[in-house]
């Protein structure tokens, strides 16, 4: 009976955790690569070149139809109607115009991904750590830059070290010349110790068991600070509590 009780308790906790998960329901544009037409398909490999698949690299656009849990629509960069993302999963797919409900994972981006995105912001800010836009990685000026960012995100996700597209666990070939040129700029920056990483609070992933995971930006909520008068009352209450404890002893 005790064993069954423990099982029921664990199951209940697991159910409540799932039920409390933050979710975002996205409807993808058609075409999903709006407003840039994705470059020609490229060949990528996630197992060191043993096998490869043909994919398109670029930035996606969709609309957030709704959110649940603690996440607010105000945290979605550029608003719910202009949600920009990159693929964070090469083993699943999304379709043009598809609607998907994703679980939000605030700790989703890997350290290597944040390292790379910091390098992107550095380059797109004129080789400066004083970023004019910390979300420049989500605001590329053209399709070549968008494709280079997507390829670098895949490199950060599936490789363990280095940023070469010719060697390592992740490899890519067939890139357009402008995309390769842009990626080389990002590669040089990410190899520099003086370039800052993207803060983890400014990015999160949305994940699905059946659809391609995505990475996007997050507008960090501002915490409400107590007014000066409230701070004084809190301090006075603390002093009175301390005096009361001393007298009780």
Domain-wise residue ranges, the chain: 22-220
Long-range contacts of residues 160-163, Cβ cutoff 8 Å, at least 24 apart: 163/116, 163/187, 163/190, 163/191
At 126-153, the pLDDT tens digits run 999 999 999 999 999 999 999 999 999 9
Prior bond of 35 cis (ω within 30°): yes
Going by the DSSP 8-state scheme, the letter that residue 169 receives in this structure is: S
Pair 87, 154: CB distance under 8 Å: yes
pLDDT over threshold 80, residue 231: no
Average pLDDT of the segment spanning 82-107: 96
The per-residue pLDDT for 223 is 57
Show the tokens assigned to 239. 């002093």
Band of pLDDT at residue 39, cut at 50, 70 and 90 = confident
């Amino acid at each position: 009976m005790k064993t069954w009780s423990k099982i029921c308790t664990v199951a209940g906790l697991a159910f409540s955790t799932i039920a409390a998960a933050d979710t975002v329901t996205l409807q993808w544009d058609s075409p999903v690569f709006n407003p840039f037409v994705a470059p020609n398909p490229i060949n990528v490999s996630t197992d060191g070149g043993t096998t490869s698949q043909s994919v398109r690299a670029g930035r996606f656009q969709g609309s957030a139809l709704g959110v649940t849990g603690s996440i607010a629509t105000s945290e979605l960069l550029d608003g719910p109607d202009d949600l920009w993302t990159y693929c964070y999963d090469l083993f699943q797919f999304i379709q043009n115009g598809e609607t998907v409900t994703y679980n939000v994972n605030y700790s989703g981006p890997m350290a290597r991904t944040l390292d790379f995105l910091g390098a992107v912001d550095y380059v797109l800010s004129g080789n400066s750590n004083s970023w004019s836009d910390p979300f420049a990685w989500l605001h590329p000026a053209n399709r070549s830059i968008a494709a280079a960012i997507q390829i670098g995100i895949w490199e950060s996700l599936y490789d363990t070290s280095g940023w070469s597209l010719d060697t390592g666990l992740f490899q890519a070939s067939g890139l357009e010349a402008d995309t390769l040129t842009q990626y080389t700029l990002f590669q040089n920056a990410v190899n520099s110790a003086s370039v800052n990483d993207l803060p983890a609070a400014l990015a999160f992933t949305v994940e699905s068991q059946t659809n391609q995971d995505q990475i996007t930006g997050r507008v960090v909520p501002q915490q409400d600070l107590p007014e000066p008068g409230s701070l004084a009352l809190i301090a006075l209450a603390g002093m009175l509590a301390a005096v009361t404890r001393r007298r009780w002893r």
